[in-house]
């Protein structure tokens, strides 16, 4: 009797584990990896490989290629097998997320030793081509990625100075302009270059694919705010700087206008002088030609004829004998 009960119980267990719990499906936004006795199924013939993003650290981040179960089903698994499902859809997460503590902002110290608060989001997704580090590389890959992101962000803020249009990675320093409204104030530089900082963070976090199997889709740093008491002082400094910059710009515009007017006045005077000299030069040329072709007598005759209209208009003539 006991043997029959054992066999019936075993049959019920097999039916439950294999017939009912043994089937599973994979949603379109998921990928799955199956393990047998804790060992993940690997691609036959594939050896360990290193993701291109961490080629310099191949000794640390070489992972085997897994057999990834695509969306669909139902699939069958044995009782000794376990299915690990991974969502691959892009997800958003606040950068203040930390499973170990509650916080409303990320504190960072700027280049001029000012503590500021940073807020924003990151968009990420699990890499379908690199699921091994995501599932088995570290216990909490997202926590590692967030810690890595915050570390890079704090380092960037602590050393940030306005690149003046040059890229933060692989570029030369930009040409400084004559007047910068926010020159020397790190928070102003950070706020002014938020898109560039986001791009820098995306570039620096490309290696998270090879390290943790997570691809950073976008970094969206939206707020960099100092403490309230510092913000008031900073507003006063900015107002003063803006006023000084506006005065300098006005003075520079006036000076440029004066220079332009002076240059035009000189040009007008030069044209008037040339207009007065031109008839005299033309007359000298004519007299030279007359003397050359007709001789001295022709020149005297020409001068005599030239005086006739003048005599008609003159009231008195004074003649000086040579």
Q: What is the mean pLDDT of residues 299-316?
A: 85
User: Is 50 exceeded by the pLDDT of residue 175?
Assistant: no
For 242, the token pair is: 């803006």
User: Is 50 exceeded by the pLDDT of residue 173?
Assistant: no
Which DSSP string do the residues of 255-274 spell out, in sequence order? HHHHHHHHHHHHHHHHHHHH
User: Is 70 exceeded by the pLDDT of residue 130?
Assistant: yes
Q: How far apart are the first and last CA of the chain?
A: 165
- Please report the pLDDT score of residue 239 as a whole number: 81
> Of the candidates 152, 254, 245, which has an alpha carbon nearest to the alpha carbon of residue 201?
152
Label the pairing between strands 49-50 and 72-76.
unpaired
User: Is 60 exceeded by the pLDDT of residue 264?
Assistant: yes
pTM across the whole model: 0.63
Q: pLDDT digit string (tens) for 185-204? A: 678 788 888 888 888 888 88
Higher pLDDT, residue 279 or 3: 279
Residue whose structure tokens are 């570290």: 138
User: Is 50 exceeded by the pLDDT of residue 268?
Assistant: yes
For residues 8-19, one letter each, b for 16 or more C-beta atoms within 10 angstroms of the residue's C-beta and e for the rest, the string is eeeeeeeeeeee
- Give CA separation, 223 vs 35, 104, 120, 131, 198, in Å: 43, 12, 7, 33, 12
- Please report the pLDDT score of residue 185 as a whole number: 64
- Please report the pLDDT score of residue 250 as a whole number: 92
SS3 300: helix
Geometric angle at alpha carbon 94, from 92 and 95, rounded to 5°: 120
- Please report the pLDDT score of residue 178 as a whole number: 42
Helix (H) or strand (E) holding 124: strand 115-126
User: Is 70 exceeded by the pLDDT of residue 168?
Assistant: no
């Amino acid at each position: 009797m006991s043997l029959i009960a054992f066999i019936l119980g075993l049959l019920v267990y097999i039916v439950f584990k294999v017939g009912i719990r043994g089937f599973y499906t994979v949603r379109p936004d998921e990928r799955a990896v199956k393990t047998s006795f804790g060992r993940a199924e690997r691609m036959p013939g594939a050896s360990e490989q290193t993701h291109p993003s961490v080629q310099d650290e191949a000794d640390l981040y070489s992972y085997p290629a897994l057999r990834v179960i695509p969306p669909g089903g139902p699939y069958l698994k044995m009782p000794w097998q376990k299915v690990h499902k991974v969502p691959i859809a892009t997800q958003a997460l606040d950068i203040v997320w930390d499973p170990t503590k509650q916080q409303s902002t990320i504190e960072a110290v700027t280049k001029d030793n000012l503590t500021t608060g940073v807020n924003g989001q990151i968009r990420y997704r699990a890499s379908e081509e690199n699921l091994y580090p995501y599932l088995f590389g570290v216990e909490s890959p997202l926590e590692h990625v967030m810690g890595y992101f915050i570390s890079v962000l704090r380092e960037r803020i602590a050393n940030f100075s306005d690149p003046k249009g040059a890229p933060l990675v692989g570029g030369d320093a930009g040409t400084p302009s004559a007047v910068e409204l926010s020159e020397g104030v790190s928070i102003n530089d950070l706020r002014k270059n938020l898109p560039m900082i986001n791009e820098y963070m995306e570039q620096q976090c490309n290696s998270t694919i090879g390290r943790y199997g997570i691809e950073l889709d976008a970094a969206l740093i939206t707020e960099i705010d100092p403490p309230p008491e510092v913000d008031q002082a900073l507003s006063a400094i900015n107002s003063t700087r803006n006023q000084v910059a506006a005065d300098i710009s006005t003075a520079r515009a006036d000076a440029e206008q004066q220079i332009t007017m002076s240059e035009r006045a000189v040009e007008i005077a030069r044209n008037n002088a040339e207009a007065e000299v031109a008839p005299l030069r033309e007359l000298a040329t004519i007299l030279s030609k007359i003397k050359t072709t007709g001789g001295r007598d022709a020149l005297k005759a020409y001068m005599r004829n030239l005086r006739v209209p003048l005599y008609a208009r003159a009231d008195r003539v004074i003649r000086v004998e040579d």
